[in-house]
A and B are shown apart, each in its own frame.
Chain A
Amino acid sequence: MPRHARNAPIRVLIAKPGLDGHDRGAKVVARALRDAGMEVIYAGLRQTPEEIVRAALEEDVDLIGLSILSGAHMALFPKVLTLLKRERAADIPVFAGGIIPDEDARRLRKAGIRAIFGPGSSLEEIVTTARKLARSAQ
């Protein structure tokens, strides 16, 4: 079933799973995506994987962006992917940003995280990737 009319804005959920309180990166990305014409549902800090997946479903997003700086990504990201699968919503692409060691990033990509942005990534690159991922899902 076609998801959206053509030219409908891309809807993206930006959330921070886990317990760290460093949301500056998530906010900067949210703003960049907004300025690129997207509708950004900003779910904020300390979201459980369950809350994130619920928000993604209710908001009918085209894309999920997760930001994490606590080091718990190997536990929390796969949990989000598992829950999406359980809800038959594995078609929603997930990308991530934060402090994620290369080895972990490789494993997370293999697990299904579609793109991972570390420190120094350009906003332009993030926006371009987000748009590409969202359009592929629509």
Chain B
Amino acid sequence: MTGPTRPPPLVRAIVERDRRALARAISLIENGAPEAAAIARAIYPRTGRIPIVGLTGPLGVGKSSLINLLVNRLRDLDRTVAVIAVDPSSPFTGGSVLGDRIRFERPATDPGVFFRSMASRGEAGGVAAATREVARLMEAAGFDVVIVETVGSGQVDVAIRDIATTSVVVLVPHLGDEVQTLKAGLFEIADVFCVNKADLPGADLARRDLKELVGLGAGRAGWSASVVATSTQPAAGIEELWNAVEAHEQFLDRTGARALEERRRLAVEIVARVREFVGRALAARLERDPELKRLLDRVVARSIDPRSAAERLGRQATRR
């Protein structure tokens, strides 16, 4: 499986900046197609060098509009940028409406930008692993920066931390009092806080509360999160927002935190893949493998409980 193999033709096309090849490869990764493993393997050595900027935060705070402006800012700086915008899949039908593209206003002729919508499909951990691979494809295709927008969700949407090199948490005024900022979850993962819609009343208060939180030492690895105010109509603070991201990226390089963080993220990614792999294999075997079937029968008969059965299987699987 490993060792020097010729890269698939699709990978060569991606590296040569064929946009349709990139788009196709993203689908193959997303769908877990048989070709996905070879593609992921071939591009991996070319990756891991660019900033992956994650934007997360509640529904409707303006993440898509901010990304549109960030893309313009990056283009002004002559940097190319690819965007991954994730929206939720219906847990009932599997369907999805991916609407982040509406805010995207680049000229159709600009080859320095690539925008891809992704449905969240399964559970959060799996999305993170697929998103990382898609971001790698984009890096292999020569983009200088990847921006990832997560599903607009609630307080515990922290998977972005396992994808992005810099996590931006986007908030708006009047999301609640300062006690909200003490809660676990979103507030723990920000490298940059962005108070968007800063033209609304209450923005100063929100910014002050966040600054106080940062002052309490909420940061990780010696970085204390910066707080930036932005608005998108009309655009304001976008330059400051990008500068704050860059400052964090420089911090990562200066302190060696980049390598440590990447090591942590890769461990998370491997474990997520293993969980997926083992879970699928086990689910298929539980009804087919006679030994596992007997174990399941005993659980059904209430002679052994599910937790003990799982522990027994887990011990078998991880025995060295």
Residues of A within 8 A of B (CB): 1-5, 8-9, 11, 30-31, 33-44, 48, 50-51, 53-55, 57-60, 87-89
* A39 neighbours in B (Cβ, 8 Å): 89, 95-96, 98, 117, 119
Q: Does A37 lie within 8 Å of B95, measured CB to CB?
A: yes
**Which listed residue (A2, A9, A41, A50) contacts B33, Cβ 8 A?**
A2
| Interface 1/0 per residue, B35-65 and A, CB below 8 Å | 0000000000000000000000000000000
Q: Is B99 an interface residue (CB 8 A)?
A: yes
Q: Is B114 an interface residue (CB 8 A)?
A: yes
Q: Does B94 lie within 8 Å of A41, measured CB to CB?
A: no
Q: How close is B320's CB to chain A, nearest CB, in angstroms?
A: 34
Q: Is B77 an interface residue (CB 8 A)?
A: no
Q: Does B98 lie within 8 Å of A60, measured CB to CB?
A: no
Interface of B is mostly: mixed
* B90 neighbours in A (Cβ, 8 Å): 34-35, 37
Q: Is B108 an interface residue (CB 8 A)?
A: yes
Question: Chain A interface: which of B22-30, B209-217, B223-231, B274-282?
Answer: B22-30
Q: How close is B151's CB to chain A, nearest CB, in angstroms?
A: 14
Q: How close is A128's CB to chain B, nearest CB, in angstroms?
A: 15
**Which listed residue (B31, B32, B95, B116) contacts A38, Cβ 8 A?**
B95
Q: How close is B41's CB to chain A, nearest CB, in angstroms?
A: 18
Q: Does A40 lie within 8 Å of B97, measured CB to CB?
A: yes
* A59 neighbours in B (Cβ, 8 Å): 23, 101, 116-117
Kindly report which residue of chain A lies nearest to residue B110, judged by CB atoms. Answer: A54
Q: Does A8 lie within 8 Å of B31, measured CB to CB?
A: yes
* A89 neighbours in B (Cβ, 8 Å): 20
Q: How close is B163's CB to chain A, nearest CB, in angstroms?
A: 20
Bound complex: CA A59 to CA B28 (Å) = 12
Bound complex: CA A48 to CA B31 (Å) = 30
Decide yes or no: A34 and B97 within 8 Å by CB, A5-B31, A5-B33, A59-B117 being known contacts: yes
Bound complex: CA A120 to CA B44 (Å) = 51
* B20 neighbours in A (Cβ, 8 Å): 57, 60, 87-89
Q: How close is B242's CB to chain A, nearest CB, in angstroms?
A: 23
* B93 neighbours in A (Cβ, 8 Å): 34-37
Kindly report which residue of chain B lies nearest to residue A44, judged by CB atoms. Answer: B102
Known: A39-B117, A42-B98, A43-B102; 19 extra A-B contacts, CB below 8 A, are A1-B24, A5-B31, A9-B95, A11-B27, A31-B97, A33-B95, A34-B90, A34-B95, A35-B90, A36-B93, A38-B95, A39-B95, A40-B95, A40-B97, A42-B101, A44-B101, A53-B108, A57-B19, A60-B26
* A58 neighbours in B (Cβ, 8 Å): 19, 23, 114-116
Bound complex: CA A48 to CA B89 (Å) = 28
* A34 neighbours in B (Cβ, 8 Å): 90, 93, 95-97
Q: How close is B25's CB to chain A, nearest CB, in angstroms?
A: 9
Q: How close is B101's CB to chain A, nearest CB, in angstroms?
A: 5
Q: How close is A137's CB to chain B, nearest CB, in angstroms?
A: 13
Bound complex: CA A68 to CA B205 (Å) = 45
**Which listed residue (A33, A48, A60) contacts B108, Cβ 8 A?**
A48
Q: Is B109 an interface residue (CB 8 A)?
A: yes
Q: Does A9 lie within 8 Å of B26, measured CB to CB?
A: no
Q: How close is A52's CB to chain B, nearest CB, in angstroms?
A: 8
Q: Does B94 lie within 8 Å of A9, measured CB to CB?
A: yes
